[in-house]
Structure 1
């Protein structure tokens, strides 16, 4: 699966007319899969409508509005929008997956899914009543994305696995309309399977729970659950050549030029425009990290992780751990 341009923990909305069943399911799900429960369909629709991100969402490109053929239009997109999502405290409340029962007194589950069709949230029919024919028809009509019977062996394990899968699909779908455009701006690694695998490996190793495409230098902004940020700087052969040329133009030390020429380091000169300047001559090692290589389908990528100190980003990110604590406190409150 291609790498989403951004991904963060999101909310699973559970809707069932049995309050006791809702509490049981919410209790048994992985705590990292934060959930919100509704036994009343009207309340559920109102809440999801207020918190769900409409199509096309917060990230959208702008096009020329003058009459003319579409292929001749100019397209503009502010890449800075992407990582700024991490500054939004309410991002974890995004309802990415809705799990709904079929047989409910106010409206059945498929009627509810129909009412949510305009939203990009993924939908799971989790029921003991609807037969397979009804579920298949709903799937073919695009009303639901999955169907799980409550009576199935390991039903809750299946539900949890599908929630995780659909949350990933949710962010992938939010990325697809912009992917081709971003690949034209030094972000070809977004669609490279080899590099996507590297990012997922790094996420596993460092406990990363959210990531965002970063514009300058090109790379991925990573956060763990405690809100600690790292920037994964990604360079191509052309990018490394540019660092070398700028270094030569600014009389960089031979040791720096050799390290760049041999692809031993990835530079990230945070002060200034990100490239080498004469002021860095004595301490250039402070602004570099050992280069890791990823052989992609079309090119070789050179990447390195740079921990970001508090204050290096425009705003601090509200940590996922803090969000979970707040949710736990809200649930426990009388």
Structure 2
């Protein structure tokens, strides 16, 4: 199921103090030299396809963060990965909406982990940019052909992995971080985020009326298990089947989910962004809040300051969701 199964408090507490040593060491060394730092930023800005991983700045050609960027885990099943990408393609519009309406607020309920997001001024002040970044990443890693030579999966994952390491680098030096929150963007939080983008999306699709075959669920979870591995998540925190994924999600939720002002503010920024971007159907903030509350369920909604029991009828909420599925806030201009 997973090398870390079962997921006890001692194990998860240790994972909360761990970052991504390979990426963190590389960024620490790279950022000690302003020239190398700029070269890395230039490459990250220009890299678009997997083939760009063979065209890296000369100082980085022997760095294993680059040379091993396309090394799949021994347990990876490429047929399952392809089926997972096909599943995404089949429900792409709905999945993209669920990422913003369910996965992101779900992550905000993890009070300690939300502090990294809250301390990012760009996230609070430019939530639409966060949605764009998220949309580009999940599209890059889930579009059929994502891991082929001219796909964008490997390149997108490496850029995100490096971005996480850069965020850790600056967060730890900001003077605002408290050790009681754990390591910034730690292993437990990364595992929880991967589950929010996979298992929680599956739950959300079912809540909107989609019937999902067991093989499709297995394929989608497997795809995200591989993505998690490439992002630097410890293999012991990668659930290899539905049972392990559910147990890990529950363990992390029980440990980390609690009410916080930061989580509430991040959620309201998200609600405002969705309401403001939808200029055609004129959905109100209350419409968006009610839909998010329905998708999250009463316990998590309460933590985020949302209605525990939506006032709107389920049929109306699903109608709102279908409205969202006809447009794309991730790439709105």
TM-score (norm. length: structure 2) = 0.25
Higher RCO (CA < 8 A, seq sep 6+) = 2
Whichever structure has more strand as a proportion of its residues is 1
Larger radius of gyration: 1
